[in-house]
Amino acid sequence: MKRVAIWAGAIVVLALVAWGALHIFISPVHPDQEAPTGHPSSACWACHFVTESADVREP
């Protein structure tokens, strides 16, 4: 049982590290930015830093 808990914990930690790394490397977006066609329809903060200082880009 202890071995399963260690593996589960390691998988969770690796998933969080991967998400954190991607979150840092994906460009920031402005809160008023519209998502381009075909963009996943999840909350922007899940992948991007959302900040007023980011430029609004044309999709």
How sure is the predictor about 59, in pLDDT bands with cuts at 50, 70 and 90?
A: low
Q: Is the pTM of this model over 0.85?
A: no
Reported as half-sphere exposure (CB side, CA atoms, 13 A), residue 38 has a value of: 1
What would the pLDDT profile of 20-53 be if each residue is shown by its tens digit? 888 788 888 898 888 888 888 888 888 888 888 8
